[in-house]
Structure 1
Amino acid sequence: MKNSPFITWMTWALILGMFWTVFSRVSPDQPKAQQDAVAKEGFTAPNFTLDLLDGGTVALSDLRGKVVLVNFWTSWCPPCRLEMPAIEKTYRSYKDIGFVVIGLNLTAQDSEQAAADFAEEIGLTFPIALDRDNAIGNLY
Structure 2
Amino acid sequence: MRKQLFIRSLQIKLLIIAFTIPYFTNSQNATDTNAKKPLNIGFVLYTKGNTPGTLFARWNYANTYSGPGLATGGPHSEGYVGKYHVRYFYESGKFSDEYDLVIEKAGDFYDVSWIINEKVAAKGVGMEVSDGLAVGWRRVTE
Question: Is the shorter-chain TM-score for this pair beyond 0.5, marking a shared fold?
Answer: no
| TM-score normalised by the chain length of structure 1 | 0.31
Larger radius of gyration between Structure 1 and Structure 2: 1
Q: Which is strand-richer, 1 or 2?
A: 2
Q: Which is helix-richer, 1 or 2?
A: 1
Tell me: higher relative CO, structure 1 or 2? Use CA pairs within 8 A at least 6 residues apart. Answer: 1
